[in-house]
Amino acid sequence: MKTLYLAATLALATAGNGIAWASAPAAAPSSQAELTVTFEQIEIPEGQILLSLYDNEAAHDANGKPVRGAMAKVEGQAVSVRFEGLAPGRYAIKAFHDVDGDGKMKTNPFGMPLEPFAFSNNARPEGGPARWKGASFDVPAGASETRIAIQ
Amino acid sequence: MNRRDLLIGGGLAALGTLVPATARAAAAVARPDWTLGVTDILDDIAPRSLQRIHGRAPDLAGTLYRNGPARFRRGDSASGHWFDGDGLVRAWQLRGNEARLAARFVDTPKRRLEEKLGRIVQPGFGTLQQPGAIVGSSDDTNAANTHVIKAGNRLLALWEAGSATALDPASLETQGQVTFRDDLKHMPFLAHPRIEPDGRIWNIGSGGAAVYVWRLSKHGAFEAGEAVKLPMASYIHDFTATARHLVILCQPWIAGAMKLPFSKSLTWQPELGSKVLVLDKDDLSKASVFDLPPLSFFHLGDAWEEKDGTIRFDGCFHKDVTFAVEGAPGLVEGRYVHVERPELNLVALHPDGRATLTPAGITAEFPRSAPELAGLPRSATVHVGGYTGDRPFARSVGSWDWVKGRHDSFDFGARHLVEEFVPAGQHHLIGTTLNLDAKATELHLFDARRIADGPVASWRSDVALPLSFHGSWVTA
């Protein structure tokens, strides 16, 4: 089973890497979407949450390039991140709580993840990151919110 | 395979939806009697006295702790492999002529989830995951069902691909999965640690082409750990050790791309042969590799080093992996594939780099030897055996002497399924059998020097427990 867990780790360890952090378009036309992602049930009020936002199944399930990434400093039991200027459509999120703040998923010597992680819809891991089928959700035009328990 | 096997096994499973429930119930009644060895236990076994049915016990006090899978089915769902049932830890307590039994399931995340759902959903060695499975780490699938040792003031229920689980030795209550150090959480800890006579514990955890080597104190505290590369990405259930070396036998059953269940990730590649990696306990970078013919195995005996540097150890070797891939899953279905022929062999690793195999000429499994001689020269290997081919599981207990070439054994007969026996004190062996006529598990004590004479004392419980894998005698 090790290979599968390793794959899970790699996917999570790169969450939020290699993409532009800023997500503020000049003006948001009314046809655009604004998504607030709230992480809750955080057990350790330290470090940061790194997350990747995907807009298609292929990139999501193949651990490919996310459409956006973000980082949120953790100071309590919940924290929110807002994405603006999104095209309305279907999205999914992979996130991990970088408790020690080193920017990486902490792993054991065989690469298994040791920091809390979570997926949109609170989709459950099944020996690897949750799949698009279970984690994706609709983001309509205008403002919307999704909540993710990360523990 | 005869018609009856076909009806009971795969044939019935395939036809299941076409056969009326009453017909299926009738077929279920016709399951072969040995399937009592893979029956389900639904609840913990409350402490109870055993009935002494034979002989008188010597002055011996202690507990035989044993572990093995004991829950394979929930509703319409079932484990796909003998190795995937929930671990039930049994305590067979002996004080003179009085014997008692208590048993508790290890309270694992897997068992908790499946109790809640009323279904078997978690993937395993040979079990496919089902809807509702939650696998955040290997420990979510940890069945804690393979071995139990005492380390310090707690028991460790051992599995293979994840953490040890700590239990209270008196109540058998689960204390939780053990993290020896924060950054080592979820690391695999094999079910077959090698324990030096002074109590220090060596173990490995398998990770494809590497193993993690664990060193624990005699109290079970973490002392050191290090990852070591293997000659090939072999499936590893067991390893062995001399006083100075770790000996890792790599069979040509090779882990490739991950598939579920886990056993499907492994491919049998006999053309690679087998390799033996020998590591210096004091410096794991000092390694040597020996070549052996292709062989398949689960269990090895303790190793020792002779004056000229020759390392010897025994093993129970199969010709190929048919038993693991087809035989063991079939057992849960009540289907017997005639492939369980483990042969006892002695491996010698010579100082000139050659490796040789010497067969004892008997079938044997679950090799054990005196704990006070672990890693030191010895001649006797305790084992079960008498695999006949007409049904699965062992029917005899024995001791093979490698120096004299002598076999001392006792055949319990066709009506007992024989479990592992272990040395108890200097002169005795203790172990259990499942009596198919009494439909009850029995505890037997032998004089280790006169096994053929039969048990010196036997006790019978009032429950039929499915067969366990491994255990430890802990002196009171």
CATH number of B279's domain: 2.40.128.630
Three-class DSSP category at A42: coil
Query: What average pLDDT does range A102-106 have in this prediction?
Result: 94
Residue ending a domain, choose from B367, B386, B409 = B367
What span, in angstroms and rounded, lies between the C-alpha atoms of A55 and A118? 17
Contact list in A for residue B141 (CB cut-off 8 A) is 1
- pLDDT for residue A120 is more than 80: yes
Q: Does residue B457 fall inside a structural domain?
A: no
Give the closest of A108, A124, A125 to B186, CB-based. A108
Whether residue B186 is found in the same domain as residue B120: yes
In chain B, how many domains are there?
A: 2
- The continuous run of DSSP H or E covering B68 comes out as strand B61-69
Q: Can you tell me the distance from the alpha carbon of B166 to that of B71, in angstroms, rounded to the nearest whole number?
A: 20
* Chain A residues interacting with chain B (CB cutoff of 8 angstroms): 1-5, 7, 106, 108-110, 112-114, 117, 124-127
| B223 and B278 share one domain | yes
Domain boundary among B317, B350, B367: B367
Given A110, A124, A127, which is nearest B207 (Cβ)? A110
Complex ipTM more than 0.90, yes or no = no
Q: Which of residues B337 and B395 earns the better pLDDT score? A: B395
Question: Looking at this protein, which amino acid is placed at residue B100?
Answer: R
Please check whether residues B259 and B126 belong to one and the same domain: yes
- Whether B214 and B141 map to the same domain: the answer is yes
Does B212 contact A109 at a Cβ distance shorter than 8 Å? yes
Q: State how far the Cα of B135 lies from the Cα of B119, in Å rounded to an integer.
A: 15
Question: What is the span of the domain harbouring residue B14?
Answer: 1-30
- Of A108, A125, A127, Cβ closest to residue B123: A127
Tell me, what's the pLDDT at B324? 84
Decide if B183 and A109 are in contact by the 8 Å CB cutoff: yes
Same domain, B88 and B125: yes
pLDDT > 70? residue B296: yes
Interstrand relation of A33-40 and A142-149 (parallel, antiparallel or unpaired): parallel
The structure's pTM equals 0.89
Q: Name the E strands within B199-307.
A: 201-207, 210-216, 222-229, 240-241, 245-250, 253-255, 266-268, 274-280, 283-292, 296-300, 304-305
Residue B264 has a pLDDT of 85
Residues 201-240 of B with CB under 8 A from A: 205-208, 210, 212, 225, 227
- B262 shares its domain with B218: yes
Is B420 within a domain?
Answer: no
Interchain proximity B137–A113, CB inside 8 Å:
yes
The answer to whether residue B425 is domain-embedded is no
- Contact residues, chain B, for A1 at CB < 8 Å: 123, 138, 141, 161, 258, 262
- Domain boundary at B367, B385, B419, which? B367
Distance from CA of A1 to the nearest CA of B (A): 6
Using one digit for the tens of pLDDT, what is the confidence trace for B24-45?
444 455 789 999 999 999 999 9
Instruction: State chain A's mean pLDDT as an integer.
Output: 84
Nearest CA in chain A to B136: A125
Chain A residues in contact with B190 by the CB 8 A cut-off are none
Is B208 within 8 Å of A114 when comparing Cβ atoms?
no
Does B133 lie at the interface with A, CB-CB under 8 angstroms?
A: yes
Smallest CA–CA distance, residue A33 to chain B, in Å, is: 32
Q: pLDDT tens-digit profile of B337-387?
A: 767 789 999 999 999 999 999 999 999 999 999 999 999 999 999 999 999
Q: How many inter-chain contacts (A to B, CB under 8 Å) are there?
A: 70
B182, B183, B262: residue with CB nearest A1: B262
- Using an 8 Å CB-CB cutoff, list chain A residues near B161: 1-2
Residue A2 to residue B257, Cβ atoms within 8 A:
no
B109 touches chain A (CB under 8 A): no
- Partnered with residue B440 across adjacent β-strands are B435
- What pLDDT is attached to residue A47? 97
Q: Do B57 and B180 fall into the same domain?
A: yes
Q: Are B104 and B155 in contact (CB under 8 A)?
A: no
